[in-house]
Structure 1
Amino acid sequence: MLRFLCWFLMLKFVVSSRIKLMTTEEIHISSCLSAIVQQYFTHDQPLLVCLPESESVHPVWMDVMLGQLNQVTLWPVYVSQGESEDGIVATLTTKPHSYIIFTGPQGEFGNVTETLVGQLDALQSSLSWNPRGRFVVLVTARDSRPSHLLALKISETLWNKAMIVNDVIMIPNSDALLIKDSANENVIKLDVYTWFPYQTGRCAEPLEVVLVGQCIEGNVNLSHSVSVFANRIPNNLQSCPLRVTARDYEPYVVLTSNDSGTDGSTTYKYRGINTEHVLLFSEVTNMTVQFLPPGEGTLLDAHVLQLADVVERSADVAAGRYFQSTGLSAFADPTIPFITDNVRWYVPCPRPAAKMEKVMGVFSFSSWLCMIVVFILISLVFWRSANGPDIPVAMGSRNLKTVLNCVYFVWCVCMSVSVSEMPRTWKLRTWFLLFVWYCFAMNTVFQAFFITFLVEPGYNKQIKTMEELNESHLTYCLDANSKEHHKQISYQVYENFDSLPINLGSLKECLEYYFINGNITLLSPALYARFVASLMGLDQNGNELFCTLDQDEYYIHAVLYLSPGHPLLDRFNTLIRRFAESGLVNKYWSQLNFEVYIRNVAVSRETECEACSDVYLVFSLYHLRVAFVVLGFGCVLSFTVFLGELIYKWYGRQRTVTT
C-alpha cells in the first residue's frame, strides 16, 4: 500500500511539472478542445487523434492534453502520427466514432490542405475508417489565407477526399502562431467553423462555411441556434440531383423507356424492385433522379463499371442485381438489406407413376410369390382329395379328376367366377370354403388399391436431399454470372457432381430450360424463379413448377451501393426500413409479378389447358378397355367355334345321308 502511494505521488508530481511547462495558450487550447469533446462527442466510443508528421505540435502539451482527455472521459483514445499508414490505426478492429485531426503546414513552404490530404490518405487506408464520424480539425499553425477561406478550403478537402460533412474546424483568429515555445500574455481566440449541405440554393458541395462560435481563453462560446454535430441532412433536399447508375435486369431493374432528346442525349427511365426504393426515396426527400447511361458488355462487366462509377463518385447510387457482400463493401457502402431471398437447388418435379407399375406394386414381391405358391398347393390338394382311394365313385367330382381341371377350378375361384361343379365330399368343401375366404380377402384389398391407382397412380419419389441429388446424376445448369458469384462466396458444391453442366447464357435461360424440359437441376433464388415463371405465363400457384431440396443453401440480401462515405446513407437506411414496414415495395412486387403473368399467359403452353388433365381424372369405360377387348376377343372366338361346330355337324349329316 505504501509503495502504491509513493508511485501515485510521483506520477502526480511528474504530471503537474509537465503542466507547468505548458504555455498559457496551450492550456487554453487544451481546455477549449476538452470542452468540445466532452460536450459533443459520443461517450464511451473510441476516439482517434491524428497528428501531423512534423513536430509542429509541442510534444509536452500533446501528452498532457491526451492524458487529460483520457482521464476526464475515460474513453479509448488512439493516436496516429504521420502521413503513412500507422500501425495502430491499421490494427483497429472497431470503427472510431470521433476524430481529432491536428494539421498544419509541413516545412517552411508547406500548405495546410496538403498536410490534411496526406493525413486523410493514411486514415482511409485503414479498415476501421469511419467517414461518418464526428471530426474536429484543429489548425496548429498560421496560414496566409483568411480564417473563413481556410475553413472553406479544409471543408472542400474533407468533402472531396472522403465526403465528410460532420466536421468542425478550429482556426486561430490572429497572425501569431497558435502554439508557441515561450509564454505570451496575448488573448488567444479560436474561430469555430462548420458547413451544412443541401441548403437553399446549393446541394452537397461546400460553397460557404458558417462561424458557429469562438473559443476565448478556453471558454467555448457557440451559437445556440446552430447544433454543431446535429443531423445535417434536411428533410427537403431542394430537388438536388441523385445520380443513379443502373443496368436492366428484371425484376431488380426494369428499363421502361429511353427517349432521345433534341441535343442527342438519351433519357433513361427504370422501375424494378431495387429501383423502386430509389424512386420512393427521391419522392420523399424531394430529389431529382438522373439515370446514367447503362454500362456496356455482359451483366458482370456492367456491374463492375457501375461500382467503378460509384467509387469514383461519378454516380451516387448503383442499382442492379447487387447483394450484400464483404468484398464489395470494401469499395462502396451498402444500404441495409431490403430483400432477403433464399437460394435453393431446383430439381425435376416427380412425374406421374406408370399405372401398371403401381398396380403391380399393390403387393410386395414376397406376397405375390406366396399367392402363387398357394395357388399351386391348393390345386394339388383339390386333385388329391378328389382322387383318394376312400372316396366312392358316386361322391367323386368328375371335374377334379385331372390336375388341369383343378388348376382351372382354382383359377375360377381366384377370378370370382362360378365353378362348373360344386365339391361333393366334406373334405373338398372344407378346402373350397377356406380358399374362397382367402380369395375374398385378397381380392378386396387388390380391387380397392386397383381402382385407386387406376384413377390416380400418384407420383414417383421426389429428390429431397443433396445425397439423393448426387445419386441422381442429373445435369446441372450454370451461367457465368452465377459461377462468379459462387466463386466470391466460396460455394463450390456443384463441383462434386458426376454429371457435366449445361452452360447457358444467363440464369433466366437456365430457368426457362428447367420449366420447359424439367430434366435438369440448378441453383436459383426463389424470388427470381417465380418471376421467370411469370414471364413464361406459368401459374405460380402450381406446386409442380417449383420442386426444390428441403434445405436452403444460403441466403442473399439485396442492397443498393452508395459512394464511400456518402452522407445520404443513413437517410436511405431509415426510409428503406419505413418502406418495408409500410409494405410499399411488396405491393409493387405483387403488381409487377401479376402484370407480367397476365401479359404472357396468352402465349403460354397452358393456354389450351394442356396441363388440365393432370389436375383430375374421370373414371370411365376407357380405363376398362382392356377388359372389353378381352371380352370382345372371347366373343369372336366363341362365335367362330360355334360356327365351326355347326359346319362340322352339317357336314357330318351330309356324309351320313350319302352313305
Structure 2
Amino acid sequence: MLFIIHFIAVGNMKTVFTLAVFALVETLSRERTHQRHLALCITTIARRHFDLDRTLLVSSSGSGDGLLDIVMENLQNIELWPLRVSRTDSVTLAPYEKHHDKIGSYVILTGGPEDIEKQVDKITDSVLWGDEARFLVVVTKCEAIPHLLALNLLRELWDNTKALNVLVAVYENSVLHLYTSFPYQSDKSCEIITDAVLLSKWDTQSDTKLGNNGTLFPDKYPRHFHGCRIDISIPHSKIAEKTYISETAKRLNITVNYISGRPNDMSLYDRIRSSISEVLLGSSEITVGGIPLIKDIADILDPSFSYHETKYTWYVPCARPLPRLYSISRIFSASVWAVVVVVIFAVSVIIWCLANRSLETSTYTSISNDLYNVWAIAMGVCVTEMPRTCPLRLIIFSWMCYCFAINAVFQTFFTSYLVDPGYDKQIRTLEELIDSGLKFGFRPEFDVYYQNSNYEIHKELMSRKEHCDPPSFCVQRIIDTRGYATLAESYSIENYLNTVNNSNYVCTMNDLEAYPVKIVAYFSKGSIFLRAFNKALVSSVEAGLATKAVKKKVSSTVSNAVDNFFVFTVSHLSIAFYLLLLGHSVSIVSFFFEVIYKKRAES
C-alpha cells in the first residue's frame, strides 16, 4: 500500500515538473516571439522614417538584451546605416573626440522612466549627440496603461533634452501603441507637455497598422506660440536687434521678456558673458545683442543664422599731409637740382667765353650779365639784348629748349603738389605700429587673437598693449592725440565716426590684420524657437532688409555730402610769396652791401 502511495506521489511530482518545464518553455517561446514581432516593428519604422547613411544609435537599459540582439541582427542585415550601441551597464572608455556627423536617429530600448533617465544621460554625454535627430523609444515590457507611461517618457525626454521628434512605442497585449507629443498647443501649457497623442497602433501578430496611416514623425514646429513668454538675455538695453525681435515676435505671437539688469560699470565683455551664462543655466532661452559667432560658445549653445557681418579692425591715425614747401623740394631729386645749378654756371661761362672771342655786344662780355641773362631764360623771361653771333645764338637757343623742358616738368609737378602735397608714411602693418612707438590698446576679449600666438610680434604686442574700453573712447583718443591705435569692431566705429568731427583723422591699418566676425543670436540647446527665428532671419537677409536697416541708421547720422572739388586760396600760393619775400630780402641785403662798399671805396 505504501509502495503504491509512494509511486503515485512520485508520478505527480514528475507531472508537475513536466508541466512547469512546458510552461517555462511556452513563456520563453512567447517572449521570444514577442521580441521578434517587436524587433520587426522597430526595423520597419527605422527603414521607413530614419535618414539613410546617417549613424543610427541603439541604446539599451540592459533589461532586454534578447531584444537588443534581435534588433541589431535585423538592422545589420539591412545594411542601411552605420550603427552604434550604447548600454547603461557598460563603461564608456572615452568620449568621441573626432566626428564628421551627428547621430541621425536613435532607438532607445527601455524598461521605463527610471531606466531612460540613465540612458539619456549617457547618450547626451557624447559630442555626437544630435537633438534634432529622430527618436524611437520602445518599452520592452507590456503595460496595462500605455498612455500614461508614454506621457511620462515624453516629458522625461522633453525636459532633459528638448528633443522634439520623439515616438514612444508601448506594447499592450499584441498591439503596439505609438505616441508622440506637441508642445506649445495653448497659452496655458506653452512648453509643458500635457498629453501624449496616439498616432497609430500596430498589431504585431498580423503585422498590420490599425488606425492612422499618416507619417509617424510629423512637423512639430509651431507656426505661432499662442502668446507664450520667451525670456531673452541682452547685454544692454540699447541693442540694435530689438526692432527685428519685436517684428518676429509679433509674427510668431510670442511675448518677449528682456533680461538686462546689469551694473552700469560692467564692461561689454562681462555683459555678453553674463548673457550667455543665463542661457546656459536656463534662466533665459535666447541671448542677442551684437554677439559674435565663436566655436566654443557654439559647442554649448545653438547659434542662429548670421544676420550681420562685421570685422575687428585696427584703427590708427591717418598720415599727416606733408608741408607744401617740402613737397616742392620733392619735384626733383637733390642730384637733379645740383646738375641744374652746375649747368647754369657752365652756360654762363660758355656765353662769356664766346662773347669775348667775337664781335659781340658788351652785354655778354660781363660774367654778371651772363648769369643774369641765363637766370632770366630759366625763369621764362627775355634777355636784356639779342645776341648777334651765330655761336652765341645757338648756345642761348639750346639753353632755352632745355629750360622749356625743365619748366614744363616743374610746373606740372608744382601744380599737383599745390593741390595735394602728399602724406607722411601711413602705418600699414603691426611691425610698423610697434616701430612707430605709438601707444595702443583694446578690450580684454581681443586677447584671444594674440595671447596663444607663437609670433614674436604678437608677444611684443601683448606686452605693450593697454586696456581701453569702450571703443568710442579709444577712437576719440586717436582723434584728439593723433598718437594712439586700437582694435575694435568696424560697425560700431563707423557709426561713431559719423557723429563726430575730424573723423578723417582715423584710418584702418589693413585688411590682413582684420578678423571677420559674424553676428548671431544664441539659443539654448534644442530650442524650439531656433527654426522659427532662423526662417525669419533668412527672409530678412535675402530681402535686403538687414542691409537697408544698417544704411538707414548710418544715413541718419551723416549730413548731406558736398561735391568734391578743390579751390585755390592764398595759402596754396604761399610758397610763391615766400620766394618773393626771400628775393626782396636778398636784394635789400645786396643794396646795403653795395652802399657800404661804395662808401669805403670813396674814403
Query: Aligned partners of 1:75, 1:86: CA distance in 2, in Å?
Result: 22
Pair 1:75 & 2:81 matched: yes
Q: Specify the alignment match of 2:257 in structure 1.
A: 290
Aligned residue for 1:90? 96
Q: 1:272: how far off?
A: 0.8
CA contact (8 A) 1:83 1:119 kept: no
Q: Are 2:568 and 1:561 aligned?
A: no
Shift of 1:241: 0.8
CA separation in 2, counterparts of 1:488 and 1:146?
59
Q: How many Å separate the matches in 2 of 1:641 and 1:482?
A: 69
User: 1:435 — aligned with what?
Assistant: 399
- Partners of 1:527 and 1:124 lie apart in 2 by 38
8 Å Cα contact 1:151/1:193 also seen in 2: yes
Equivalence for 1:340: 309
Answer yes or no: is 1:625 the counterpart of 2:553: no
Q: Distance in 1 between matches of 2:34 and 2:521?
A: 49
TM-aligned CA distance change 1:626 to 1:427, over 3 Å: same
Q: Could you tell me how far apart the structure 1 residues matched to 2:454 and 2:257 are?
A: 36
Alpha-carbon distance, 1:421 to partner? 4.4
Name the SS for the 1:62 alignment partner.
helix
Q: 1:524 aligns with which of 488, 491, 495?
A: 488
Q: Which amino acid in 2 is paired with 1:101?
A: I
Structure 1 residues 326 and 497: alpha-carbon distance in aligned structure 2, compared to 1, 3 A threshold:
closer
In the TM superposition, residue 92 of structure 1 has moved relative to its aligned partner by 6.6
Matched, 1:214 2:201: yes
Question: Residue 363 in 1 paired to residue 343 in 2?
Answer: no
Aligned to 2:320: 351
**Residue in 2 aligned with 1:279?**
246
619-628 or 289-298: bigger deviation: 619-628
More displaced 10-residue stretch of structure 1: 319-328 or 209-218: 209-218
Change (3 A) 1:74 1:20: farther
Q: What is the aligned partner in structure 1 of residue 177 from structure 2?
A: 191
Shift of 1:424: 4.2
Corresponding position of 1:268: none
CA deviations on 1:405-464 (whole Å, 9 max, x unpaired) are: 443343333233444444444333332222222222212321232233224324345444
Please, which of 252, 277, 281 is the counterpart of residue 312 of structure 1? Answer: 281
Give the alignment partner of residue 410 of structure 1, picking from 369, 374, 382: 374
Mapped to 1, the partners of 2:298 and 2:247 lie a distance apart of 24
Q: Deviations over 1:141-183 (max 9, x none)?
A: 367x94322222222211221111211112232xxxxxxxxxx
- Structure 1's 223 and 629: CA in aligned 2 closer, same or farther, altered over 3 A? farther
Deviates more, 1:510-519 or 1:304-313: 510-519
Residue from 33, 39, 53 that aligns with 2:42: 33
How far apart are 1:560 and its partner, in Å?
0.7
Q: Say whether residues 1:457 and 2:426 are aligned partners.
A: no
Equivalent position of 1:204 in the other structure: 191
Amino acid across the alignment from 1:617 = V
Matched, 1:49 2:48: no
1:323 to 292, 300, 319: 292
Check 1:631–1:407 CA distance in 2 against 1; reply closer, same or farther (3 A cut).
Answer: closer
Which deviates more from structure 2 when the two are superposed, residues 198-207 or residues 413-422?
A: 413-422
Q: How does 1:115-130 map to 2 (within 5 A)?
A: 115-130=115-130
In 2, the alpha carbon distance for the partners of 1:223 and 1:546 equals 71
Contact 2:310 2:517 survives alignment (8 Å): yes
Contact 1:473 1:499 in 2 (8 A): no
In the alignment, the residues of structure 2 paired with residue 538 and residue 156 of structure 1 have an alpha-carbon distance, to the nearest angstrom, of: 61
Decide whether the 8 Å contact of 1:48 with 1:96 is kept in 2.
yes
Q: Mark the CA change 1:485 to 1:313 in structure 2 (over 3 Å): closer, same or farther.
A: farther
Maintained 8 Å contact 1:38/1:73 = no
**Residue among 560, 572, 579 paired with 2:540:** 579
Shift of 1:639: 10
Superposition pairs of residues 171-190 of structure 1, within 5 angstroms: 171-173=170-172, 187-190=173-176
Alignment-mate amino acid for residue 54 of structure 2:
Q
Residues 557/344 of structure 1: CA separation in 2 closer, same or farther (3 Å cut): same
| Distance in 2 between residues matched to 1:202 and 1:446, nearest whole Å | 85
Higher mean C-alpha displacement, 29-38 vs 70-79 = 70-79
Which of 429-438 and 78-87 deviates more? 78-87
Quick check: 2:450–2:459 contact (8 Å CA) kept in 1?
Answer: no
Q: What is the alpha-carbon distance in structure 2 between the residues aligned to residue 450 and residue 211 of structure 1?
A: 90
Residue 84 of structure 1: how far off its partner (Å) = 6.6
Give the TM-score, by structure 1 length.
0.76
Instruction: State how far apart, in whole Å, the 2-side matches of 1:123 and 1:235 are.
Output: 30
Q: CA deviation at 1:244?
A: 0.2
| One-letter amino acid of the counterpart of residue 408, structure 1 | Y
8 Å Cα contact 2:137-2:168 kept in structure 1: yes
Change (3 A) 1:225 1:516: farther
Aligned residues: 565
> Following TM superposition, by how much is the alpha carbon of 1:285 offset from its aligned partner in structure 2, in angstroms?
1.0
> What code does the residue aligned with 1:172 have?
Y
Task: Name the SS of the counterpart of 1:96 in structure 2.
Answer: coil
Q: Residue type of the partner of 1:99?
A: Y
Which has the higher mean CA deviation after the structures are superposed, 450-459 or 29-38?
450-459
Alignment match, 1:228: 216
| Counterpart AA for 1:45 | R
Task: State the distance in 2 between where 1:223 and 1:73 align.
Answer: 30
**Percent of aligned pairs with the same amino acid:** 25
Q: What amino acid is the match of 2:247? A: L
Partner of 1:11: none
The separation in 2 between residues aligned to 1:452 and 1:90, in whole angstroms, is: 67
Does the 8 Å contact 1:170/1:193 carry over to 2? yes
Confirm or deny: 8 A CA contact 1:479 1:505 kept in the other structure: yes
Aligned to 2:412: 448
Unaligned runs of 5+ in 1: 1-18, 105-111, 174-186, 249-253, 256-270, 602-606, 653-659
Alpha-carbon deviations, 1:469-520, whole Å to 9, x = none?
5654543332223225665999996435599434312223222323444443
Change (3 A) 1:413 1:588: closer
Which runs of 5 or more residues in structure 2 are unaligned? 1-27
Q: C-alpha separation between the residues in 2 aligned to 1:530 and 1:406?
A: 62
Partner of 1:265 in structure 2? none
Change (3 A) 1:446 1:557: same
Q: Which residue in the other structure is 2:15 paired with?
A: none
1:101 aligns to what?
108
| Aligned-partner Cα distance in 2 for 1:538–1:286 | 46
SS at match of 1:382: helix
Deviations 1:101-155 (A, max 9, x none): 1122xxxxxxx32322221111111111111211111122367x94322222222
Distance in 2, matches of 1:487 and 1:572, equals: 36
**1:610-643 deviation digits (Å, cap 9, x = unpaired):** xx9996332448544335545766898899999x
Look up the equivalent residue of 2:134 and give its one-letter code: R
Distance 1:206 1:416 in 2: 97
Residue 291 to residue 497, structure 1, CA distance change in 2 (3 Å): closer
Read off the aligned partner of 2:227 and give its amino acid letter: S
RMSD value, Cα:
3.7
**TM-fit CA distance, 1:369:** 2.0
**1:33 to partner: Cα distance:** 1.3
